[in-house]
Structure 1
């Protein structure tokens, strides 16, 4: 690890930067994508020195649509490709840094860097639309176009209207976090072996990975379509008008619905044959939504929240991004801050890192540098680096290293639904020994529809690969003792229970810090452990509502959630990031860290590229074809005078796209989820795998999207039935899963 780090000229010199996470790691950020800038931001917030190369001429494309947000916490150097001195300086950086972030689908120069010889310890992370393999390899596409290609766009909006485009770059931001996780996994390998590696991150892979609910429906043979602000699997779940705005109410079980029926003064609805089971409620969702809105229209947003929170039902008001600075929990957690933008002389609003721990983010991680402000400091650092560090042996390609990044790491998961299970299934694919603790009744998703004929839940299997199970009833002293024994041999505990739930059994963070000082603890929940909403339940859509995310997608002026469970996914990804960062910190500096992660904070974090002074999102339109929709990056068609001659009536998507591309207009077919799952790119990237459970039962599962090319992740098996197996089972037994994947369709635009 490099020890000398350049310092920004406008940093707070009174602040001292304690050793933390990635102190001493130097990153060169070259990629122009939003995801490349956000990945650099993730690493900078963990203490890395991130040097971002800025263009010599002004631009407002890619990550530069919001320079202030992109550059916060980084070092700036402008490189003029026409100057020999600048080219030499950049070449020295390419040879001297620990990590390089690229986006080679937008830059031929990035392609050359990806293919060049590099120092053996160096890590190259390339974030592209479709990755380096498959029929679409190398093609550039915007976040919205990837929404179309991946099926994500077809899940957002109302069934009776065209698909909705999410203007927040959710897929790029999600990929950025996954890329940050991949870099941390590669740094862990480097700490132990001295070897770096290349990382192939595809936004398309991450997009398809965000569709487990829809893959469950697809496997069950059910219709997969847009459900607006409802949930594809559960009812009641929706956005309801009130006297002064809108609220999102979410219920996932029959018990939840029974409580809601009583609270609105209609207890008989719980026994009504139209609504008495979740399947019945799904069939009669329109009628049920009308009944609930008849009640909510008589309430204020605050009154609805109070009634629902009192009975443990997740509910939240729709908060617009302009109002985030006054949202009570964000104010309490100091989730937002202001920083001076030296290019305008004005203060801008930014989001703090969602990874809250006893290690505070340094003040220079919040500063925005002026363009080229750090040039001399960077040159001085290079001189120190040349004096202190021997030139490493070069390497090219992707030599395979033995083992996987997290071999030997044991993780205890106490979680249900999506968040902690998502984090730990990916950590399991990276080699960790994951032990999932369940109550005697099991994870709630074991009973989530749709179910297979053998009574097992598709969504549980998709969320719980590469784990072993242990059933413990923490109301019993003996089982608490057994959990303590498991924690004694564990490295990490990740949980997404309600705040305080584990404390009641003696497993709160403060207690564990004393009883198991070696243990890294990661708590992820709706509003954080330190919150103005103690004990308040929250599901994905409530967090989308209260983080501003829903306000960025409008259908007829109604805020619209993303079809994918974006807040659950992002929360789980930050949980995974915390696990990896915590391990690296303990390995480097000797102390274990506790993380308090609020899903509201994580979702706010991904919206910040849309905050002022960001340029307005590029205009677009959706064209109706005979077999679906085509996403068009408009008004290019109108500007070039092509719109009047475009034929759409009776034409297929392929025909419309052929006309558009012949005129140089960027476009993409809006694929259905089924088409995306069966697409040739999905097959080539092996995003879907056929695996088996611990009892030998076949399953179709999602692969891990972290493209570590020298130590690739491997999905081995699906978790068994409740109480099948125990922590003493040998986790190193080879999996019976194969690389078989579903067949590719022949659709090509």
Structure 2
């Protein structure tokens, strides 16, 4: 399955060498755009593929700038040629480190440090840990590609270009929803290794011949695990509730490892997966090419690197192939579109939230009792910070899809909607009677995106997955080591990147529909996306050099190896972070503080220009919510508001379903 490449009219110029710029160009090239790379005769690397390479001469630059209708650059990079004034009919996307314009020379390790990622990666016994993969740069690249496709319809219809700006730090902060809730509850997050701050048991466990990753997020999961371990009584009493297990995580982990250590990796993973529990081995980068699922999905090419469009796989719907007439364009790019989300935890909720911030109406379908994370602690009046941060700007509709009546309501809603996005276990919708064939019959213009750990077309059918298992099985943990031990990134990197990729997939599906009138089914695998994040570490590519410098008030990350940093700073006294940074920058070495999440939350407070804004709901509760990371000069985003109580939109959904069914385009010629 491959996406139709229908960006023939898009000519993109990469004006600069920032990894996010180059990765964005690579994504657009794989989606069918012509992308001009001005690196000339420089050696090709993982981000060079699928592009038209021109020498970086003044003549070539002028010619490329005249041809392009999209320009990608970084205005804060002082080591690159400044971008000349662009035309009014060009989209110009500017990726900077932050809004100051002073940190354009920062590399990936510093981005992870300043965004709070490294402070929560590793253990309390290790310094803050850096992932060698350029996670922040490549996540921002996906955001950037989606932003270009958001602005493209206006340019195609009216010839009106615009400026778009993205901050690497803003994009990175969007991934902190797993740990920031602890700050707003008055706690200080700490590095917790491979544990989850709000779910136990969730960790790496020793087996008889290695290590496995196990993720258990609910009391139901815990009951299943206790039964599998032959100790059903543990599901009662002191460990019965999730909150109790979080408080006693050491004891719970000890009980689990007492069982896993009696089994091999293979047998342990098989037993856990058979019980419906998410678990997997920790794979090295060298082993990814032989992973059965990556091979099955053709996500790794024959030369052992992520394949073209490796994480975007789709098939067209039944709609008309006639091009739709150009609509009147709203101020908000997705205004007038209705998105239905069946999401839990992070991936689908994050993607749908970004669609909502771009103007779409998002209706979140929740089961009886609500989405699993709705009550995750810490919370206010039973509603969790994590849930609220991941579900801003949505309306909640309670439907029991096991009920005939509610399934009929769901079908009626789909007939009147534009997008369905979900991250249920693969096959769940089919069992409910809503497989792709039925969805396409109900609404041939529907853009459907299913996000799962290993994909719907998978070598691991039915296998459950959570973020940490996917990190283990995609090379991210192999790229994140402290003292030789692989760790997950503190942020839920596989979940978050899966959600950002879901945003891009839906926006591209809508662009295809704009041109063809036909819907699309997108099968998105978190393992594919996470392996894509590691692409610059495959083959001869290498990670940016860095060192973590201990200081009297925390840590500093420097863009140099440790011996160089030690020589510059000296060893007579332990400096404060500001002094260490001053010494390093005086030696012309980029450096930045490893910011704690408490520091980030404090810096974000009380400033409407920041990434996190406070919304006070109708009950007087204050919720910290992430702003949309895009800043458009023409398109408008929406203000952030918190999701309401469970089922608050049920009456509204009833009104929608009572309206006449929209007329479907004639597709008889496709029979």
Cα 1:726/1:716, change in 2 over 3 Å = farther
Distance 1:521 1:247 in 2: 33
Is the 2:568–2:583 contact (alpha carbons within 8 Å) kept by the matching residues of 1?
no
For residue 124 of structure 2, give the secondary structure of its aligned residue in structure 1.
Answer: coil
Residue 72 of structure 1 corresponds to which residue in structure 2? 49
The answer as to whether partners of 1:648 and 1:656 remain within 8 angstroms in 2 is no
2:109 and 2:544 in contact (8 A); partners too: no
Q: Pick the aligned partner of 1:588 from 504, 512, 515.
A: 515
What is the deviation of 1:645? Answer: 5.8
User: Is residue 473 of structure 2 the alignment partner of residue 517 of structure 1?
Assistant: no
Does 2:150 match 1:185?
A: yes
Contact 1:416 1:496 in 2 (8 A): yes
**Match runs of 1:105-254 below 5 Å:** 105-107=76-78, 111-113=82-84, 116=85, 118-130=86-98, 133=99, 135=100, 137=102, 139-254=104-219
Change (3 A) 1:618 1:431: closer
Q: C-alpha distance in 1, partners of 2:521/2:247?
A: 44
1:716: which partner in 2?
Answer: 640
Contact 2:604/2:612 (<8 A) preserved: no
Q: CA deviation at 1:463?
A: 0.8
Q: How does 1:271-420 map to 2 (within 5 A)?
A: 271-273=236-238, 275-338=239-302, 347=303, 349-353=305-309, 354-358=311-315, 403-420=331-348
Could you tell me how far apart the structure 1 residues matched to 2:618 and 2:507 are?
Answer: 26
Q: How many residues align?
A: 642
| 8 Å CA contact retained: 2:414, 2:442 | no
**Does the aligned pair in 1 maintain the 2:627–2:640 contact within 8 Å?**
no
Structure 1 pair 681/551, CA: closer, same or farther in 2 (3 Å)? farther
Does 2:412 align with 1:485? yes
- The alpha carbon displacement at 1:695 in A equals 5.9
Q: Any stretches of 5+ residues in structure 1 without a counterpart?
A: 1-16, 59-63, 81-86, 339-346, 361-400, 732-749
Which of 531, 541, 553 aligns to 1:627? It is 553
Equivalent residue, structure 1, for 2:370: 442
Aligned to 2:468: 541
Q: 1:708 to 1:660 in 2, by over 3 A?
A: same
3-state secondary structure, aligned to 2:171:
helix
Q: Determine the C-alpha separation between the residues in 1 that align with 2:518 and 2:383.
A: 41
How far is 1:620 from its partner?
2.3
Q: Secondary structure at the match of 1:27?
A: strand
Aligned-residue offset at 1:557: 1.7
Deviation at 1:707, TM superposition (A): 2.6
Out of 75, 81, 84, the position equivalent to 1:104 is: 75
- Which of 710, 728, 732 is the matching residue for 2:652? 728
1:670 counterpart residue number: 594
Q: Does 1:52 align with 2:37?
A: yes
Q: Distance in 1 between matches of 2:440 and 2:216?
A: 35
Structure 1 contact 20–359 (Cα < 8 Å) conserved: no
- Residue-by-residue CA offset, 1:228-275 (whole Å, 9 max, x unaligned): 1000111111011222321100001122112212212232322252x3
Q: Deviations over 1:319-348 (max 9, x none)?
A: 11111111111111111113xxxxxxxx55
RMSD: 2.4
- How far 1:636 sits from its partner (Å)? 7.8
User: What is the Cα deviation at residue 510 of structure 1?
Assistant: 1.7
1:428/1:220 Cα in 2 relative to 1: closer, same or farther (>3 Å)? Answer: same
Task: For residues 402-439 of structure 1, give each alpha carbon's deviation from its aligned partner in whole angstroms, at most 9, with x where no partner exists.
Answer: 61111111111111111111001111000001111111
C-alpha spacing 1:556/1:138, structure 2 compared with 1 (3 Å): closer
| 1:440/1:680 CA distance change after superposition, 3 Å | closer
Query: d(CA) in 2 for partners of 1:707 and 1:173?
Result: 19
Provide TM-score, normalisation by structure 2: 0.91
Find the aligned partners of 1:588 and 1:624 in 2 and give their Cα distance. Answer: 55
- Which segment is superposed worse, 329-338 or 284-293? 284-293
DSSP-derived class of the 2:305 partner: strand
Give the secondary structure class of the aligned counterpart of 2:253: helix
What is the TM-score when the length of structure 1 is the normalising length?
A: 0.82
- Equivalent in the alignment of 1:31: 16
Pairing 1:95–2:66 present: yes
> Alpha-carbon deviation of 1:215?
1.7
- The secondary structure found in structure 1 opposite 2:424 is coil
8 Å CA contact retained: 1:694, 1:717:
no
The residue number in structure 2 matching 1:706 is 630
Alignment CA distance shift 1:47-1:713 (3 Å): same
Change (3 A) 1:427 1:495: same
Q: Is residue 626–residue 652 contact of structure 1 (8 Å, CA) maintained in 2?
A: yes
Structure 1 stretches of 4+ moved >6 Å: none
1:469–1:727: 8 Å Cα contact kept in structure 2? no
Distance in 2 (alpha carbons) for counterparts of 1:110 and 1:688: 33
For 1:523-578, what per-residue CA distance to the aligned partner results, in whole angstroms no more than 9, with x for missing partners? Answer: 11111111121111100001001111111111222211000000001111111111
Partner SS state of residue 38, structure 2: strand
